[in-house]
Structure 1
Amino acid sequence: MNIQKVAIIGGGTAGWLAANHLGKALLDKNVSITLIESPDIPTIGVGEGTVPAIRKTLQSFGISETEFIKRCDVTFKQSIKFQNWLDKHIHGSNNYYHHLFDPPSPMGDDLSDFWLQGSTKTYADLVSSQHAVCEANLAPKLITTPEYQAIQGYAYHLNAAKFALLLADNARQKFAVNHIKANVVATKLHLDGSIDSLILDNMGQQKFDFYIDCSGFESILLAKALKVPFVDKSQQLLVNKAIVVQVPTEPDAIIPPYTRATAHQAGWIWDIALSSRRGIGLVYSNAHLQDEQAEQKLNRYLDGRLSEYSYRTIPMHVGYRKQFWAKNCVALGLAQGFLEPIEATSIMLTDFAAGYLANRFPTNTEQMAGLSERFNQTMTYAWERVVEFAKMHYCLSDRSDSAFWIDNRDSKTIPEGLHNKLALWKEYVPMSEDLFSKFEVFNVENYLYVLYGMKYGTKAPHTNAKSLAEAQKHANKIEQRAQLLCKQLPSHRELLQKIHQFGLQKV
């Protein structure tokens, strides 16, 4: 049977990303796409950070970067600045490192060997000019730099609710996606267990050939109707709650061009600056910190002003579905699963999965068995790599001021794949060949920034005098470029103001 009618259940970022990916891929293939969005469920709006891959996605949808920046309160994100993730008695009370978005060592051979010889600079400062740009709160480009192009690598911080509205407009106008406001009150199944139809509260029974579950934590199709079990990862990633709050900022306040991630005794705090507010969330393990203590910590972070704002606590069920594609249903976004937002992985995984599905969408039901098997293998691999990468931030820490950090170093909580990588990287500097799948979510440069930002003790290789001299020349070029960029690039807020006034050049 040919697949001609597709339903996406749920709006928000996940639903509308899926609508754009599928709408673009299926526009000329006689397939109708209908997004069914509940009028009663607000967008979660917790994860407001992205990774650089989103630029390519938005450009492929035909969305103007200028319009995106104006409509979604966008600011630029060039890094994640991890603060106090190491023992303050050893590394200082304000220790930090940057996970930058520009690749390290851009002007010659990898400088990791050189850094391991005992450089006095932090790893990111040695290998990339972007470190200095971030610390100076500068923009990643000029007003004359065309849309989506960059001088320094970047992603975005954004207002998630406004982002969903922009994606919705684009999907409806460019890709003819139908939009229905309704609640799904029941799901009817075929005898073979696949989904036959949905019962909507205001339209009755609606039948489709294929279903995309973007219904968030509820996962009303994949989890509730198709009974796909959950793979719990709470024994590896220990944080399971978050207190989230939005804090207004002054019109002339400095906008850091990075996410702040500040560790505390039982987790960490994210701090994302938009142009007029900060999105802040304290994530923690309730096995190591009571809810009242967590509120007190967040109140201290906000200089005693928490009571002035509306805030809420969100439970985090950490893990993913055993299958992401079951029968004639694929889950995306939070319906797939949830891991803490330590590296902005939620939107990243949604974008990756939606793009992959669009490129391998079945034209008929006979193709689904083979395609679903491959999709499930790929997405399981991707989720496991994200678990490993997130866990690495914790198990590399030498903090011992609480049971939380000590428990995170317990070998029983470290995934086997990560354990094997760390054992290899004790002896050798990471290289791309260590990550052998094309479906890696994080590349070797991501590992390098975190490993050596946290001062991982790779054995320093033997390096001859000539190689050291060449490496020093390379490092000097990076430092000179950093000085030049700090003179040329505008402040972050200045560039945003110019974009709102003049717009960026079209590509």
Structure 2
Amino acid sequence: MTTPVCCWYNATSGAVLDTIRNIVIVGGGTAGWLVAASLAKQLNILADPETTITLVESPDTPTIGVGEGTWPTMRNTLKRIGIDETDFIRECDVSFKQGTQFVNWHKLNRDGSDAAYYHSFELPHTQWRTAPGPYWHYLQSEIGLPYADAISVQPEACRGNFAPKTMATPTYEGLLNYAYHLDAGKFARMLQRVATSDLGVQHVSAHIERANLSKDGYIASLSTREAGDIDGDFFVDCSGFTALLIDGTYDIPFRSVSDKLFVNSAIAIQMPYQSAAEPIASPTISTAQQAGWIWDIGLHSRRGTGHVYSDDFISDDEAEDQLRRYLGPGSEQLDAKRIKMRLGYREKVFHKNCVAVGLSAAFLEPLEASAIFLIEASCNMLGELFPRNRAMLELLEKRYNASFISRWNSVVDFIKLHYFLSGRTDSEFWIENTRPETAPDSLKEYLEFWRYYPPSRFDLSSSLEPFVRESYEFILFGMGYGHYQQSNPARLPHLEYARENFARIAQMRSEVPSQLVTNRRLLDQLKDFRFQSI
């Protein structure tokens, strides 16, 4: 083992070195390369020759992601890194995402047809000066529309497979709020290219054999098979489920949430479009099944699909059969990838001079696509509060751990909400999910209050909540929860304004086809435009 040259002890002078200069990221993929690019930009390492970022990854580690959904926050992340949106769309098989459509998560309609509702990205505050929920409840019989349709035109845009913008809309801006569906493997490769070519990140392809600790328990270096020892001052563990540093080196316990979230397996199939003109869906489509749910993500060139389920309630073969029946005859000869999942999070993800990000830190199932958002949140907090010396490490460690444990518990609450309110009694999986003892106490407290009061600005006090109040409203109102019909219009001071706004949105809904183009058309135009410009 070599003596670290920029760690805590200088063998020549005997002096303790406080400054953190060399950052080492373990693992690539979406997490590793997004951390590398974000930190390189936020710390401006091109203008600071004494600071280095090195990403070390095994040359034969497969990418887990087969198709990912993001949140609208990704637009600011990419813009900050310096990635052109059109290049991103072209290189990463991107399509526009405008929310999630939940099919059959609630009881079937009386006529046996699918029951569906939307969790849209277009939040009420963009078109309303008051929370519309109480007014929608009071005027339901007059409006005659589901909540998401009443407050925004976005569900109508989703039903028509329309894009949230046009060719005339500036990059990273939209006529409707949007995020992206993307190919995770292609996204990681693009981030790698940008990080190494444009932002000064060093890339080492090597097998890591062990992490070497200093006498006081801090990581001093990594021993690799091909590149020898790699010294560092600060280490980011992005090694996925392996959790090479946070688990393999520090043995930080994993806190399971399997008593609340029951799914533990997934089967993924990449489904080709039947023709080049087949519509590209705007939302992620989440369709409930006997013991889980199927995701259906429309990318530009194909659909990314998969079945998330609990093998305690259904066999792997049965789950695959259900997915293939959903996809139809065209899926018969397609390969299926089976994935086992362990849901939960580390009790600490920041320890000494190491922080875990991505799957090495936590995995809470892909419903509502929180995984990449939480990587973004890690990048933001590390970049803004990056510790420049050892004294700052201990201060940041405590705050960082508290912040992310709170976020993960909030994600568990929000995901469990979908299952807990389903009201489905057609299988043991759904019945088990509605048992009170399977819901977190924090969620039960919210739901007891929301039986009589709609969600308000007083409920979720933290600015770091992953899911805002409006997101809870989409799920609660979509599933018909709550008994707060307001019988006294005097308690609704903006009633006439609400009527006018509901009517205005209804008029806008009829204008969607004339104002927007389809996803397919816009994505084809963007691709052709870029090729013509090269």
TM-score by length of 2: 0.92
For residues 76 and 295 of structure 2, the distance between their equivalents in structure 1, rounded to whole angstroms, comes to 25
Question: Paired residue for 1:111?
Answer: 132
Question: Paired residue for 2:514?
Answer: 487
- The number of residues matched between the two structures is 505
- Trace 1:311-460 onto structure 2 (pairs within 5 A): 311-460=336-485
User: Structure 1 residues 175 and 458, CA, compared in 2 at 3 Å: closer, same or farther?
Assistant: farther
Shift of 1:193: 2.1
What code does the residue aligned with 1:215 have? S
For residues 312 and 75 of structure 1, the distance between their equivalents in structure 2, rounded to whole angstroms, comes to 23
For residues 192 and 440 of structure 2, the distance between their equivalents in structure 1, rounded to whole angstroms, comes to 38
For residues 107 and 452 of structure 2, the distance between their equivalents in structure 1, rounded to whole angstroms, comes to 24
Residue deviations 1:196-225 (CA, integer Å, cap 9, x gap): 211111012222111000000000000111
Indicate if the aligned counterparts of 2:237 and 2:360 stay in contact, CA closer than 8 A.
Answer: yes
Please say if 1:161 is aligned against 2:185. yes
What code does the residue aligned with 1:472 have? R
Shift of 1:295: 1.5
User: Structure 1 residues 155 and 89, CA, compared in 2 at 3 Å: closer, same or farther?
Assistant: closer
For residues 391 and 206 of structure 2, the distance between their equivalents in structure 1, rounded to whole angstroms, comes to 31
What code does the residue aligned with 1:98 have? Y
For residues 302 and 254 of structure 1, the distance between their equivalents in structure 2, rounded to whole angstroms, comes to 15
Please say if 1:151 is aligned against 2:175. yes
Residue deviations 1:214-240 (CA, integer Å, cap 9, x gap): 000000000111100001000000111
Question: Paired residue for 2:23?
Answer: 6
Query: Secondary structure of 2:393's match?
Result: helix
Question: Paired residue for 2:316?
Answer: 291
TM-score by length of 1: 0.97
For residues 353 and 276 of structure 2, the distance between their equivalents in structure 1, rounded to whole angstroms, comes to 49
Gaps of 5+ in 1: none
Question: Paired residue for 1:34?
Answer: 54
Shift of 1:131: 1.3
Question: Paired residue for 1:254?
Answer: 279
For residues 493 and 372 of structure 1, the distance between their equivalents in structure 2, rounded to whole angstroms, comes to 46
For residues 53 and 130 of structure 2, the distance between their equivalents in structure 1, rounded to whole angstroms, comes to 48
Please say if 1:17 is aligned against 2:31. no
Indicate if the aligned counterparts of 2:67 and 2:183 stay in contact, CA closer than 8 A.
Answer: no
For residues 257 and 281 of structure 1, the distance between their equivalents in structure 2, rounded to whole angstroms, comes to 17
Question: Paired residue for 2:256?
Answer: 232
Query: Secondary structure of 2:409's match?
Result: helix
For residues 345 and 154 of structure 1, the distance between their equivalents in structure 2, rounded to whole angstroms, comes to 15
For residues 488 and 265 of structure 2, the distance between their equivalents in structure 1, rounded to whole angstroms, comes to 46
Query: Secondary structure of 1:352's match?
Result: helix
Please say if 1:131 is aligned against 2:155. yes
Indicate if the aligned counterparts of 2:280 and 2:299 stay in contact, CA closer than 8 A.
Answer: yes
Which has the larger displacement, 340-349 or 164-173? 164-173
Residue deviations 1:124-160 (CA, integer Å, cap 9, x gap): 1111111111111111001000000110000000111
Shift of 1:485: 2.7
Query: Secondary structure of 2:198's match?
Result: helix
Decide which of 320, 330, 333 is 1:308's aligned counterpart. Answer: 333
Indicate if the aligned counterparts of 1:5 and 1:31 stay in contact, CA closer than 8 A.
Answer: yes
What code does the residue aligned with 1:479 have? A
Please say if 1:75 is aligned against 2:99. no
What code does the residue aligned with 2:26 have? I
Indicate if the aligned counterparts of 2:56 and 2:203 stay in contact, CA closer than 8 A.
Answer: yes
Which has the larger displacement, 304-313 or 153-162? 304-313
For residues 494 and 359 of structure 1, the distance between their equivalents in structure 2, rounded to whole angstroms, comes to 39
Shift of 1:244: 0.8
For residues 500 and 152 of structure 1, the distance between their equivalents in structure 2, rounded to whole angstroms, comes to 21
Please say if 1:95 is aligned against 2:115. yes
Question: Paired residue for 1:122?
Answer: 146
For residues 364 and 58 of structure 2, the distance between their equivalents in structure 1, rounded to whole angstroms, comes to 24
For residues 212 and 39 of structure 1, the distance between their equivalents in structure 2, rounded to whole angstroms, comes to 18
Which structure has the greater CA radius of gyration? 2
For residues 436 and 47 of structure 1, the distance between their equivalents in structure 2, rounded to whole angstroms, comes to 33
Shift of 1:92: 4.2
Which has the larger displacement, 143-152 or 29-38? 29-38
Query: Secondary structure of 1:221's match?
Result: coil
Question: Paired residue for 2:197?
Answer: 173
Question: Paired residue for 1:216?
Answer: 240
Query: Secondary structure of 2:68's match?
Result: coil
Residue deviations 1:297-331 (CA, integer Å, cap 9, x gap): 11211224544111121111000001010111000
Indicate if the aligned counterparts of 1:83 and 1:95 stay in contact, CA closer than 8 A.
Answer: yes
For residues 91 and 162 of structure 1, the distance between their equivalents in structure 2, rounded to whole angstroms, comes to 43
Query: Secondary structure of 1:391's match?
Result: helix
For residues 180 and 453 of structure 1, the distance between their equivalents in structure 2, rounded to whole angstroms, comes to 48
Indicate if the aligned counterparts of 2:66 and 2:185 stay in contact, CA closer than 8 A.
Answer: no
Indicate if the aligned counterparts of 2:119 and 2:474 stay in contact, CA closer than 8 A.
Answer: yes
